[in-house]
Amino acid sequence: MKKKIVVLTGAGVSAESGFATFRDSGGLWERYPVEKVATPEGWYENPEFVNEFYNGLRHQLVNAQPNEAHYLLAELEKDYDVTIVTQNVDNLHERAGSTDIIYLHGELMKACSSNNPDDSRYIRTLDTGHLDILPGEKAGDGSLLRSYIVWFSEPVPNIEAAANVCQQADIFIIIGTSMQVYPAAGLIRYCPEGIPIYLIDPKEVKTPSYLHVNVIKDVASKGMRTLMEILKEKP
């Protein structure tokens, strides 16, 4: 039986693909106030502005390509049972070939009902022929169509599934996340005691002091190259 690897990824894994991050210096929150584009209140105040923001991100995403880190994570599936738990809303993991992905904060390439975002009957996948949510465009329940994104103060519907899979991990990998955004940052606490934990990030990242975390202080692609070599040496 293959060992189980669970990977928690954040914006840093997609930064090398040129896809804009939210929190870093020069990130999107510096140009677009979070309360205007990532809260239910912002949506109700100006839904067209919010949809324009995510339309723009969607156009950026279709022109971005998976980077080496994405491809190396997909390559792990040759030898391991791998689940990606991502805080990202892009589809770069999927496009690189990863097959088991839990999206914590939604999916940019999907649109949903504004009355009930998690009602699967009204979630639709957008494509290159229809990237934009147009002003006044409706979901199947008659409400305004919005991007399928988990906004601040909204529940994270997939957090329970993510916690369950973390409990099954034989190896836990963290890539490109500040570990400051909850509830995602708390997933490390669900890992079985004593399993190897690896963290790849060029910046200092705080993790629970009682856990031993093997830090690879590098960008995602170089860090993944290093980690692949480490894993080859492990039984």
**Active-site residue numbers?**
105
140's tokens:
């199947």
154's tokens:
């909204």
Cβ-contact 134, 157 below 8 angstroms: no
Ranges assigned E (strand) in 18-73? none
Closest CA to 13 of 83, 84, 108: 84
The backbone torsions φ and ψ at residue 14, rounded to the nearest 5 degrees and listed phi first, read -100, -10
Cβ-contact 114, 144 below 8 angstroms: yes
142 contacts: CB under 8 Å, gap ≥ 6:
none
d(CA 86, CA 98): 12
Closest CA to 58 of 123, 147, 191: 147
DSSP 168: T
Cβ-contact 197, 191 below 8 angstroms: yes
59 contacts: CB under 8 Å, gap ≥ 6:
131
